[in-house]
A and B are shown apart, each in its own frame.
Chain A
Amino acid sequence: MPIPDTIPLLNLPWADALFALLAGVMLLAALLVVTLRDIIRCGLALIVCFAALAGLYVLLGAPLLAATQVLVYIGAIAVLILFAVMLTQAKAAPTRLVFQTQAIPAAIAAAVLAIVIGLAAAATDWGEAGRRVATGTDALATLLFSDYVLPFEVVSVLLLLAVIGGVYLARRGDER
């Protein structure tokens, strides 16, 4: 028995329902990242947010980017952040004061920023097509290794430099 195109009772396409679910999870997790008191929980909410974003990338027709998101962001960056949390937090309970004194002006500024971005995005004609264009991995690889091969090499050198710099910065300063 095939699955119907729309959810039976709500008359809502499956893709739209999935989009609403992923977008809600992503925004909720992002809000938890910036508001939770315990920083370990912030890091775990960050992982949830990255995973929901990977789902959104799949909906946008970029499966390779979704896989990269899971590998690099969840597998590397989030784990790196959690390690740094364990290295730098005090043994005592989390600090009583989570926010700076400028938290309320920052909240107002962020809300204004979101409204301005939303209005600008809605008011501009981007020359978009009605339907989505998926990017296959083969087309992506052809483009990456033909037109973008110089930036690709530069990025690999940058990553090497960042790793060496990170090791230099984070080592113990006994012999310095």
Chain B
Amino acid sequence: MTLQSLDTYLVLAGALFAIGSFGFLARRNAISMLMSIELMLNAVNLAILAFGAFVPGLAGHASVIALFVIAVAAAEATVGLAIVVAIYRNRRTPLVDEYDAMRE
């Protein structure tokens, strides 16, 4: 029994995803929430690569899909941070619970 199996990698990816989801739900700062999204995307990438490494039929495909995930994550970070900067310019705060313009 070796420490490195598909199950341990999947449990590790699940733990990282849960940490990211906690950060997304709990943090007040918009940039912290974006960091948590990056953590969750990385957890998914780790799971994809673990499947590629341990399931023979998926070997090359997993790496290609992980590359696409990284590219889409880069696009998401660009647009997300630009939106945060644009909102900050209007509201002068990065805290999401003070973005209440659409509440009333």
CB-CB under 8 A for A143 and B4, given A81-B35, A114-B15 = no
Docked-complex contact A46 and B35, CB < 8 angstroms: yes
Whether B26 contacts A100 by the Cβ 8 Å rule is: yes
Report which B residues bind A (CB closer than 8 A).
2-23, 25-32, 34-36, 38-39, 42, 45-46, 49-56, 59-64, 66-68, 70-79, 81-86, 88-89, 93-95, 97
Interface bits A63-88 vs B (CB < 8 Å: 1, else 0): 01100110011001100110011011
Which chain B residues lie closer than 8 Å to A46 at the CB level? Answer: 35, 38-39
- B8 partner residues in chain A, CB cutoff 8 A: 19
Question: Is B94 touching A107 in the complex (CB atoms < 8 A)?
Answer: no
Contact check, B64 vs A148: say whether CB atoms are below 8 A apart: yes
Shortest CB distance A62–B (Å): 5
A137 to B51, CA, bound (A): 18
Q: Select B17's contact among A33, A73, A95, A113, beta carbons within 8 Å.
A: A113
- The 8 Å CB contact of B18, one of A80, A85, A117, A132, is A117
Chain A residues whose C-beta falls within 8 Å of the C-beta of B21 in the assembled complex: 106, 109-110, 113
Contact with B19, one of A23, A34, A84, A127 (Cβ below 8 angstroms): A34
Q: How far is the CA of A151 from the CA of B72 in the complex (A)?
A: 11
Q: Identify which of A23, A76, A167 contacts B12 (C-beta below 8 A).
A: A23
Is A166 an interface residue, CB under 8 A from the partner? yes
B-contact 0/1 string along A1-32, CB 8 Å cutoff: 00000000000010110011001001100110
9 contacts between A and B (CB under 8 A): A34-B23, A34-B39, A65-B63, A84-B84, A110-B19, A133-B59, A162-B75, A169-B85, A170-B86
> Distance (Å) between the CB of A103 and the closest chain B CB?
4
Known: A16-B4, A80-B77, A159-B74. A62 touches B49 (CB 8 A): yes
Chain B hits for A76, CB < 8 A: 74
Which residues of chain B are within 8 angstroms of A72 by Cβ–Cβ distance? 70-71, 73-74
* Chain B, Cβ-Cβ closest to A60: B53
